Each structure stands twice: as structure tokens, then as C-alpha cells.
Chains A and B, each alone.
Chain A
Amino acid sequence: MTSSEAHADGARASDEALVLSVQNATHQFGSLVAVDNVSITARRGEFLTLLGESGSGKTTLLRVIAGLERPTQLGGIFIEGLDVSAVPASRRNCTTVFQHYALFPHMSVGQNIEYGLRVRGVSLSERRERAMEALKLVRLPDKYERRVHQLSGGERQRISLARALVTRPAILLLDEPLGALDEKLRVDMQVELLDLHKKLGITFIYVTHSQEEALTMSDRIILMRSGNIVQEGPPTDLFDRPGNRFVADFMGVENLLEGTLETVSDGRASVRVGDHELSGIWSGGNTPAAGTKVCVAVRAERIRLSNESGEVQEDAVNRLPCRAGITIYKGKYLDRTLDTDIGDVKARIWDHEADLVDLTSLWWREDECAVTGVEDG
């Protein structure tokens, strides 16, 4: 799906369902264009992820939404149908969870959480009540009196989350909130964030550089690169149908074989790579002319091995003779590198029984392989 199509989708959705609409936002830092004429929308209750490597403009876009950054050019920003282009961050109905927590060091946990209510003039008793609720929500009910420096990293992130949620914003903006946490905690927090999202029904806009995080949590992913949207769609789209080579690479496709397109028919593309004819599902945008350079993207876990004696699968159209290269033991699986005459192919073998010593060829199914453009767009 290209960005223009998505935009049309957004326009078709009813206005009430659209909680956020950013139109033609451009933000420059000096001569650097951080966000380049980007338009995005979010539906009420959606979990939208802005995915991209550092410098892709995802955090800048989030800050533009929050109002912490004044875009250099802007068509308009609408939150719940209201144009907030000229509204300062303090009066926008969205709050941010920062990667660096940004908890106020001179306040207790309770005072931190209550801050958004305090500046709105909410009474002390109601403040406290709602802060306790928020603390329960993030499963830290007995930390109200604590000082910030007494908390662990994970606890700080939850307090920061509670502080952002306590004002009941229409949109919660999360700027790499799990970036500073260790692996195990990160996985736990992903699940907790999903729970919270389901429970509260608030729109989450989540910035991350981790495709794994994006895939786990999102309803929709917007993949960004150097200030532009490269592809947007549900996780399965980005995972299985990368719109171009960059997306495939970013989404962790291990085997990217470049070749020339021969035909596309019925959504299936056949590609000449070296002396081989490979085919897969066409997942780029518009179909290019035959002879165009394209890319066959196939994940390592889709690669299967066979030997002379093994039975030949009928739909094994993508078959390459190969020799065994190095094998790396990864605990849960084996990573094997296989030498073929069109370069190394990586295979991931989950079932150790299926690992062959006397392998002679590898193959993969046509519908488990994407063929996509080499260039962006």
C-alpha cells in the first residue's frame, strides 16, 4: 500500500473515527529535512507504530504531533477534529511517554503522576484518587510516596506511563518507551502496553526502531526513512509483502536476491536470477516492465533443505542446488549458510531433526516469498 492510497483510506473513514490527522507536515533542522511533507492519520483506539531507524524522522513527527516541535511547513494537524496547528503543546489533548522518562526529580512518584492534574487545577483529593487509580493501572499501587531516584528503570517507565495517562488524553504518544530497558523487561512491558491499550481504548502512537516491537503491538505500522513514509499497513503486510528492498531488509528478511523481472501475472512474479528462474508474490507497488531490476525476498525460516533421496515437492518451483557452508548453533534453532551459484543463502532450521548433513539442494514455496522493487516508492 502506498502512502497516497492510505491517505485516501483515511479520508474515507468518518471524521469521528479519525482522532488524528497530520497533513503535509515538513520539519527542517537547518538544512536537514527531518520530516518531508508527511501526512498521517490515526483512528480512534488504534495502535499505530512509527517505525524507522534513527534519523528517519519518526521522533520528530511525534514531537510535531505533541506540539513540542513547530513544523516549518504544515497543511494542518487535527486532533479530534480540531485544528491544533497553532495550539501549544500544553493545550493539546495528547501526552507523551518519553524514552528518558523525564520524571521530575524534585517530586515524589505521586506528585509526578498528579502533575498534569495539578496544572489543570484539579482538587487535591481528586488528584490523589486518580493518581492511585493510575498507579494501579501500571501495577505499582504502593509506590505513591516513593522518590523517583528510588525506582528501577522499569518502574520509572511505568510511572511515566501513569503520569501521561492520568489526564485521560485522546492520544498517547510513546517515544521509544522501552528503549532503555533490558530485553526481558522489554518483552513483559510490550504485553502490558497491549493490555493497557485494550483496557483504555486510547489511541497509541508508538515510535520505535525495533521491527519486532512494531510487529508485536501494532494495528498498523508506518515505516519511515529519511523523513518519508516508505510503507504503511498492518504488520502482516510489512512482514510478508515488503513494498521494496529497503522494507524487506528492515523487516529482517535474510535473503535478498537481485534479478531481472520476466513476467508478472495473477500477482505472481517470475524473476531471472543468474541461471535460475525464481518466482514469488509480487508485493511492490505498480507492476514494472519486464527487464526491471527486482529483488526476491525470502526469509531464512522458509528455506527448506533436501538431499538426493528426499522426495521432491511438487510446488517446489524455487529450487537451487547448494553446498553446506557454516552452521551456527543458536540454541532454539540452527542458522545455516548455504553456498549456491547465485550467492550465499541463509536457512534457519528450527527442527534439528530436519537438519541434513548430505544436502544437495534447497527450495522454498512460491507463496512464502515476496518479489519486490529495488528502489523506494
Chain B
Amino acid sequence: MTIGNLSPTRFRLPFWQRLADWAPTGISIIFGYAVLFILYFPIAMLMILSFSGEPNTGIPGDWTLTWYESVIFADTAQREGEAYGSNFRVGDPLLLSIMLAFITAVACVIAVLIVGPILPRIKWRGPFLVGFLMPLMIPGIVGGVGLFMWYRLVIHVKMGIWSLVLAHFVWAFPFALLAMLVVASRFDTRLMEAAEDLGAKPWQRFWQIEIPILKPGIYAAGFFGFLLSFNELPFSIFMRSGQDTLPLYLWIQSGAHNTTVPLIFAMSTIVTVGSIGLTFLAIKLAFGGGKNDVK
């Protein structure tokens, strides 16, 4: 037999073998789309219904902006005695939630800047990390009750805005820390040595080397702090003492009055769009920069 005397033909595996090759991928694809559908269908539906005339029927159509008007002009609407939104006043809870979220975000950034860069480099980082991240595994209700007992009976924090801030910080900190650790654990401390060697004083090393390099982690921590606080419900239930956060208010309203459900749809849509916008902004801030690092 001579070498190279077979004419080449297109090579194909039998059908069943090809199917077996593709099956795992195929199942993954179908499953993936199913999950995406389950995730996004209710949100999409909610958004569509918030523009519909009869949202309580669950059938889209008869497009209107009434609900948004009612949400935004709730106070006015109430004065004019309109049917929908007579009790739906979202202004104060929204303001409170934004304020809480902002304070929580700032607190998270500061705490994470103190802990984050050091944690990957200390000897007992494992136990510390577990300790810091434990709140992730504690159900919100349990944590809420625990904090309630602790603040109320042991350290006598007055229930109100500050107890809410504390609770939200406890809840958001582990996420913020995780976000920071992703960046901080890759931070090359030898850069700090190089800066020192070149004559940089400690504060210069901090502002000019550490902060800019950790910037994505800082933004991520602040962003997590903000959103997690803004959406937090279980802790808030126990910590509120007369203060209604936005999620709490929406929750109470949705349970109490059938008539306000359309307004909740509208409000949720506003919050969702706002959150997505904030996310994009955070990503842009964290990774889009680069040219304005040095004055």
C-alpha cells in the first residue's frame, strides 16, 4: 500500500454520537433560557402592566401614564380626592430610603477600605473572612430579631433612622466586602514598596497608588451598599419604629389596599429602571475611567 492514495471524503460521526456530543450543551442552553424567562418575565410583565389601564386584570393594553402621574403627584392627588392613590404617599419613604442607602453606601466604603486591603494579607484571614461573611447566611428575619433584641435590650439604641442604618450596614457589609476583596486580593503590595522607594510618603502612597488601583472595589462596595440598603425589607421590619422605608411601604401597601397595586407596579418600575441606571453608572465609573487618574 502506498501512502496518500485514499481520496478524502467528508468526515461525519453517526447521528447518535453527534447527539451525545451535543446533548449536555443543548440541555444547558434550554435550562439557561428557562431560568432567564423565569427571572425576567414577571419583571417585564410588571413593567408592561404599569402602563396599562386595567393592571389588576393582568391583561396589558389601554396604555396610560395615569399610575405614574398618581405616584409622582400622590400628595396632590390625595388633596383632590382621586380614587386611586388616596393613601399612597411615596415621597417620605422614598426620601428615607435614599438617605439610608446613601449613608449605608458611605459606611460600607469606609469600612471596606479599612478591612479590605489588609484582610488578604493577615495570618488568620480565613476565620476573619468567615466571621465577616456569616451575616450572608443568616436569614434576614432572624438577623432582624437578633439586632432588635440587641439594640433594644442590651445597648439601648433608639429605634429609628440610626437603628435602620446600623441594620442595613450589617446586612450590606459582607457583600461590599466581597466586592472589595475581588480587587484587593489581587492588589500587588509590591507597588506600595516601589512607590515608597521612589519617595512617596504614606498618604501619597494611599491616595496615588492604593485608592486608584482599588477604585473598582470602592465603587462596587458603595454600589452594593446603596442597592442592598435601598431594597432591604426583613431587617427594616424590626428596626423601623415608625419609619417606613420604600420597600416596607410598598409591602404594606400591597397587602392592604387592592386599589394601590397599580401604583406599586409603577413605583417598582421606576425603582428598577433607577437601579439599572445606577448599576451602569457604577460600572462606568469603576472601569470607564483611566485617563483622569493623575491631575
Contacts and interface: CB of A to CB of B under 8 A. Distances in A.
Interface of A: 66-68, 88-91, 95-96, 98, 100, 102-107, 111, 115-116, 118-120, 163-164, 167
Nearest to A166: B198
Contacts of A68: 193, 196-197
Contacts of B200: 90, 115, 119
Contacts of A67: 196-197
Contact of A120 (B199, B212, B294): B199
Contacts of A88: 196
Q: What size tier do the contact residues of chain B reach?
A: 20 to 34
Interface in B156-205: 188, 190-191, 193-201, 204
Interface of B: 188, 190-191, 193-201, 204, 208-209, 212-213, 215, 290, 293-294
Contacts of B195: 104, 115, 119
Q: Which of B191, B204, B215 has the most CB of A within 10 A?
A: B191
B199 A167 contact: yes
A66 to B, nearest CB: 6
Given A96-B194, A111-B293, A90 B188 contact: no
Contacts of B188: 102
A105 B199 contact: no
Contacts of A95: 197-198
10 contacts: A68-B196, A90-B197, A102-B193, A102-B194, A104-B213, A105-B213, A106-B215, A106-B293, A118-B208, A119-B204
Contacts of B190: 98, 100, 102
Contacts of A163: 198
A102 B269 CA distance: 47
A252 B215 CA distance: 50
A90 B206 CA distance: 14
B196 A89 contact: yes
B117 to A, nearest CB: 15
Given A111-B293, A111-B294, A119-B204, A106 B213 contact: yes
Contacts of A102: 188, 190-191, 193-194
Contacts of A105: 191, 213
Cβ-closest 9 pairs across A and B = A102-B194, A116-B198, A119-B200, A106-B212, A89-B196, A96-B197, A90-B199, A119-B199, A90-B196
Given A100-B190, A119-B199, 19 more contacts: A67-B197, A68-B196, A89-B196, A89-B197, A90-B198, A90-B200, A91-B199, A98-B190, A104-B191, A104-B209, A104-B213, A105-B213, A106-B212, A106-B290, A107-B294, A111-B293, A118-B294, A119-B204, A120-B199
